Amino acid sequence: QLDAAPNPAGSDGPFLTLQRAQDEVRKLKAAGQLGAGVTIQVRAGLYQLPRTLALGPEDSGTQEAPIVYQAYPGERPILTGARAVNGFKPYQGKILQADVAAQGLKGVAFKQLFFSGRRQILARTPNFDPRNPYGGGWAYVDGKLVSMYGDQPGDDKRKLVYKAGDVPEMARPTEAEVFIFPRYNWWNNCVRVASVDRAAHTLTLTADCSYAIRPGDRYYLRNVFEALDSPGEWYLDQQAGTLYFWPPKKITRDSVTASALSHLLQMKDAAYVTFQGFVMEGCDQTGLLLQGCRHCTIAGNTIRNTVGVW
């Protein structure tokens, strides 16, 4: 057992990272020294994960010797996959720019940006309406309305006919994504644009939506640099490694963060492992991904600023 704080000689005390603690558990297991199990208590603080914390069979416990990762009593450690972005400079009007390639995010195509812990808006059109967040901020597919319950001639899951003025000129149209509720309005899709036909007012998408795209379906375009025109919006130029951001308030050091990991915790074929008492945040997909696990427990955690992906 390690002490909760370093001793004066520095020869004992807590490990710095969860990965180091994980390595120690593996050593104990390989040596047959799990005893009645192992508990890893994590002190309060911000733990910036350098990579997804991946656990497999070699990290498993047993019914008699479970492995428990938990917050130190009375404390709340934060596990994050986000990286701070600093060094913002003026770009145009109230829009700032920052070199993210030089800040550990080179080649990272992040889709989540946070300001003071709140998710910001990937540049979109129509703009997000904070006064009507669900019913406002939509464009609507052009055409004559038809009954949603019968198939129609020409039904297409990739063709979207837009109204004049709803789709701006875009220098990089194939980066744009259509966020749409097709046909029944009960299931949304987010699909990239393959091409734009200005003469026919038509967007062709790179993949099928769940249902045919019908006149009157609500949608918006996002990841469009030309649509960055309101507070909270941002756009990442992946080629240049440059982030453009219109902050809603004054930026302070480390107040802007970007997700750098897909998942925070991934467990595959693990057994008798518990994670309890953490705050988990800041990733581009699901915070926790469990596959083929048995008798594993995720309890008493706060999971925020992640993205559910089917």
Phi-psi sector, 132: left (phi>0), alpha (psi -120 to 50), beta: beta
Residue 293 confidence (pLDDT): 98
> Could you tell me the pTM of the whole model?
0.89
276 or 15, greater pLDDT: 276
The number of angstroms, rounded, from the C-alpha of 122 to the middle of its chain's C-alpha atoms is 12
In terms of DSSP bridges, do strands 218-222 and 139-140 run parallel, antiparallel, or are they unpaired? antiparallel
Residue 309, pLDDT > 70, answer: no
pLDDT tens column, 107-153: 999 999 999 999 999 999 999 999 999 899 999 999 999 998 989 99
Q: Is the pLDDT of residue 1 over 70?
A: no
Cis peptide bond prior to 126, omega within 30° of 0? yes
pLDDT at 227 over 90: yes
Residue with tokens 């507070």: 231
CA dist 43 → 36, 69, 216, 305 (Å)? 22, 11, 52, 22
Segment 16-33 shows an average pLDDT of 94
pLDDT at position 12 is 74
Tell me the mean pLDDT in the region 30-41: 94
Residue 8, pLDDT above cutoff 80: no
Distance in angstroms (rounded) separating the CA atoms of residues 47 and 292: 27
- pLDDT greater than 90 at residue 310: no
- Which residue matches tokens 């220098």? 171
Mean pLDDT of 212-237: 97
Q: What is the pLDDT of residue 307?
A: 86
Does residue 2 have a pLDDT over 60? no
- What burial letters (b/e) apply to 156-191, b meaning 16+ CB within 10 Å? bbbbbbbeeebbeebeebebbbbbbbbbeeeeebeb
pLDDT score of 33 more than 90: yes
Please report which confidence band the pLDDT of residue 83 belongs to, taking 50, 70 and 90 as the band edges: very high
Give residue-wise pLDDT tens across range 268-281: 999 999 999 999 99
Residue 248 CA, distance from chain mean position: 20
Instruction: Identify the pLDDT of residue 19.
Output: 95
For the chain, the average pLDDT equals 94
Render pLDDT for 234-289 as a digit per residue (tens, 0 to 9).
999 999 999 999 999 999 999 999 999 999 999 999 999 999 999 999 999 999 99
* Strand 202-205 to 189-197 pairing: antiparallel
- What share of the chain in percent tops pLDDT 90? 90
Residue 4, pLDDT above cutoff 90: no
Least confident span in 12-21, 112-121, 174-183: 12-21
